[in-house]
Amino acid sequence: MTSFPKLRIDEYAMVYLEDTDRALPTKINQNTRYAYFKTIAKGGKSLIQSCKDMHLGRTICYKKLLPEFADDPIEQQRFLREARVSAMLQHPNTVPTYEVGRDSRGAYFFTMKLVHGYTFREVLNYRDRYDLSRLIDVVVQVAYALEYAHGHRVIHRDIKPENILVGPYGEVLVLDWGLAKVWSAAASKNSQLDSSPATNLDDPIGSITGQGKLQGTITYMSPEQIRRDPQIDHHTDVFSLGVVLYEVLANRTPALAETVGEMRDATLNATPPRISAVTSAHVPKLLEDLAMACLAKDPEARPDGCAEMIRLLQEAW
């Protein structure tokens, strides 16, 4: 079995007595707490940076909306939801959130643990280096995170290899809860965050997360998510994780398409081929059967939850 690459120790900040024993200022100025910003990634709507927490002396992750979205009330609400969902779901397979606040200009930000590693997409790009059992273990860890989230009435809605991080010590973290669905205590209605007009079905395949478009990445969307079914529940995450499992086993996704429209039609109407029919690699039947069951068009025909997936993935396949 091949383990995932270890992180070089020089990538971590060293710990020195001068830093651990430095006195806090008499008056705390939150506007000068974070310094030495470096860009990690820039998404469609947000900027992710590393920075130094001058109070605690640690390097952390700092996320904020891009200037063109900073004053958009819907994007602000989505952003706060992501920060709070991440903070409230305290699980070994989620990233700890430290603080949410406003910067000196009044714009929202939140901070979280800075985690080094590889996305599962990067891992799958070099799948020949890894034993199948190691890849399946990543799927199991994601299922643990989702089972925990579902138990707290949260569905992720954007499970894909790019949102799964594999750390240098074998840790697996589910990222980006920005599209998470939660329910009010009194009702199970979709909020304004879930409403949007139809997407352009001739758009190229990719991430379509802007207002006025489907929310998520369509390659991994369940049929009910594509239809924007107001009764969507945890079965949509089971479907998306099933697509990931299919990809692990087949080295391709269940549906192949060049446009959003083609992918939409395939997901809604076409039966995906059996994995053993599209790859020459040996595919354990238990894993193939599980992946195909997760891809059922009818949510009720899928495994009832991620706990059932975990049980099957941990059998002697």
Whether this prediction's pTM lies above 0.75 is answered by yes
Residues identified as active-site? 158
Q: What is the DSSP letter of 143?
A: H
Whether 146 contacts 309, CB under 8 Å: no
Query: pLDDT tens, 219-275?
Result: 999 999 999 999 999 999 999 999 999 999 999 999 998 899 999 999 999 999 999
Whether 160 contacts 242, CB under 8 Å: no
Q: How confident is the model at residue 210 (pLDDT cuts 50, 70, 90)?
A: very low
Q: How confident is the model at residue 15 (pLDDT cuts 50, 70, 90)?
A: confident
Residue extents of the structural domains in the chain = 23-112, 118-313
Query: What is residue 199's three-state secondary structure?
Result: coil
- Give domain 23-112's CATH number out of 2.60.40.1080, 3.30.200.20, 3.20.20.140, 3.30.450.20: 3.30.200.20
User: Which residues are within 8 A (CB) of 48 and not within 5 positions of it... i.e. 6 or more apart?
Assistant: 39, 40, 41, 42, 61, 62, 63
How many CA atoms are closer than 13 Å to the CA of 13, on its beta-carbon side? 17
Q: 15-20 long-range contacts, Cβ below 8 Å, gap at least 24?
A: 19/57, 20/57
Cα separations in angstroms, 13 against 18, 50, 146: 13, 12, 32
**Fold annotation for 118-313:** Transferase(Phosphotransferase); domain 1 (1.10.510)
- The answer to whether 23-112 and 118-313 have equal CATH topology is no
Q: How confident is the model at residue 216 (pLDDT cuts 50, 70, 90)?
A: low
CA atoms of 41 and 34, how far apart (whole Å):
18
The H helix count followed by the E strand count for the chain is 9, 12
CA atoms of 222 and 127, how far apart (whole Å):
25
Q: How confident is the model at residue 191 (pLDDT cuts 50, 70, 90)?
A: very low
The sign of the dihedral angle between the CA atoms of 262, 263, 267, 268 is negative
User: Which residues are within 8 A (CB) of 177 and not within 5 positions of it... i.e. 6 or more apart?
Assistant: 81, 82, 85, 86, 89, 154, 156
Backbone phi, then psi, for 102, in 5-degree steps?
-120, 145
> Which residue do the tokens 């952003």 mark?
79
